[in-house]
Structure 1
Amino acid sequence: MRAVTTSSSPSLPPPVADVDVVLPCLDEAAALPWVLGRIPAGWRALVVDNGSTDGSADIARAHGASVVHEARRGFGAACHAGLAAATAGIVCFCDCDASLDPGLLVPFVREVLDGDADLVLGRRRPQGRGAWPAHARAGNLALTRMLRRRTGLRLHDLGPLRAARREALLGLSLDDRRSGYPLQMVVRAADAGWRVTEHEVPYRPRVGSSKVTGTWRGTWQAVRDMSRVLHEPPPVRADGA
């Protein structure tokens, strides 16, 4: 199996420029000010409004973010709309529910820029009661084990905090528009021979209610979406191997 680096995030160096941060958003008005206040200086926040009714888009603009509207509901639909709208050389992804600090993406980006990794993921470490419900953690564990069998990557998490080069991500031709999008990104990156690393990041209780894994039903739907991705056959190489 291919080795995957796992470490705690180092102290943050000065931020680098030419980075877009995609923030899929569905009714996150209460969390947005905290999240947008932690976007590193010089980076652009792309808040993808996925049908919010709580004024999230207006709050995002008021805090300096660019807003992209995606009418089609689905986590993958929002993420991919943000990727399509991005223009920077490096694109990051982060939830905008205040469970993750986008400032922690700085070393992720540097690792990509230095050529040490093609895709960097955050391995979530829950901080406090309720940060990561048991059913959501169990679903994540099952998926990472299946991912290991499918790709050989020894990952521990499929968390939403991640960084990669924009053109390379577009080249993966991601087409899942539901909960399977984050996993499809990793599977297709592995199939393409990308170097994938992960680093520990603190994971806090979210602000507001979860739209995906806040319930057993939501977690089951997410696992089902992702399981379909794992059944995609690996690409056939030109040499027939």
Structure 2
Amino acid sequence: MKKTLAVLAAALAFSAHAADKLSIGATAVPHAEILEFVKPTLAKQGVDLDIKVFTDYVQPNVQVAEKKLDANFFQHKPYLDEFNKGKGTNLVTVAGVHVEPFGAYSTKFKKLADLPAGGTVAIPNDATNGGRALLLLDKAGVITLKDKKNILATPKDIAQNPKKLKFKELEAATLPRILNQVDLALINTNYALEAKLNPSKDALAIEGKQSPYVNILVARPDNKDSAAIKKLAAALNSPETKQFIETKYNGAVVPAF
């Protein structure tokens, strides 16, 4: 009888431990770094955070939808909405964490006014970040869009292009690597930071801190209210995490809570 109870207790202990393991997909900078910061706090609360680093914006969502991951942290809501619509998934926002002001970069020119006629501009090829890039260029006066509120704008939606700039739509992760091959590239801050670019110093144009593109913790409807996910959300929105973001990224990443 004692042996049976011991086996049962061990099984229950294993089940509790397994239930508290949380696998989360993230891009390396700053998302995985922020998750590494909260990992010890979560461990003290009985949550074993398993961080999987990705270099693209598709697989982290696919793997959460397929239940290969519990959650992810790499994207903003406009991107998630477009992904859900296009892929037929129903991933949900758990918490907003930070904003990464989107920037325009060049290794050839010091200001946007110096861009040459017929120059080449690289932008992300996913709908939301491509639109975000064009909205930034519109705000900076480089182009004029037909609709300044269209977050899914494409180069076809440009009404005025005084310098007759040519637009290349490429995978977001590749943009830092081809920066020296184009006149201007619009780069997501996580990839800019990975490439050792300093958004606050190197960007020729950058979004304001009131950007609507808040990076979010994402899960599924079936697990978004689990105890482990709630603990992770609370840790990501803690005063300690806010201070960590402000200190480590010095304005390149801005807390949104």
TM-score, length-normalised on structure 1? 0.26
Higher Rg: 2
Judging by fraction of residues, say which structure has more strand. 2
- Normalized against structure 2, the TM-score is what? 0.25
Name the structure where helix makes up a greater proportion of residues: 2
